[in-house]
């Protein structure tokens, strides 16, 4: 049982060409899957390299910005619905929904436990809710 402790897995194929290869694929609009094909690996490895190699992550982020700009330039050629759908799926666009729960006149919600309320207050609330 004596001997070197091995980390497991096969040796990495990562080299100095990978950031440029991934950049080209992603900037052309092929996404992470395209980078995986270009680098002859799988998407999971691309994500691992993004965690392990800052220069690779930087190349991917720059390429994503280029790809988004490319989509902005192409939006005139697309129907509005398909363009929005594409931006949501490729560029992390989301529908923004804001919900605010407030009390009277936008103030804080008033909370009182029913056991702290008088019978008259409870009867008033019950009669108002039937309107």
| Residue 45: per-residue pLDDT | 95
Segment 1-50, tens digit of pLDDT: 444 444 667 788 999 999 999 999 999 989 999 999 999 999 999 999 99
Decide if 98 contacts 59 (C-beta within 8 A).
no
Helix (H, G, I), strand (E, B) or coil at 102: coil
* Dist CA 30 CA 73 (whole Å): 16
């Amino acid at each position: 049982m004596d001997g070197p402790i091995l980390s497991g897995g096969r040796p990495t194929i990562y080299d100095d060409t990978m950031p440029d290869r991934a950049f080209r694929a992603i900037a052309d609009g092929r996404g992470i899957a395209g980078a995986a094909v270009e680098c002859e690996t799988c998407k999971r490895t691309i994500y691992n390299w993004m965690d392990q190699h800052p220069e690779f992550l930087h190349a991917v982020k720059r390429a994503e910005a280029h790809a988004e700009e490319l989509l902005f330039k192409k939006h005139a050629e697309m129907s509005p619905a398909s363009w929005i759908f594409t931006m949501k799926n490729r560029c992390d666009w989301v529908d923004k929904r804001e919900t605010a729960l407030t009390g009277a006149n936008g103030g804080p919600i008033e909370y009182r436990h029913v056991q702290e309320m008088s019978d008259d207050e409870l009867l008033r609330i019950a009669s108002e809710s039937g309107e």
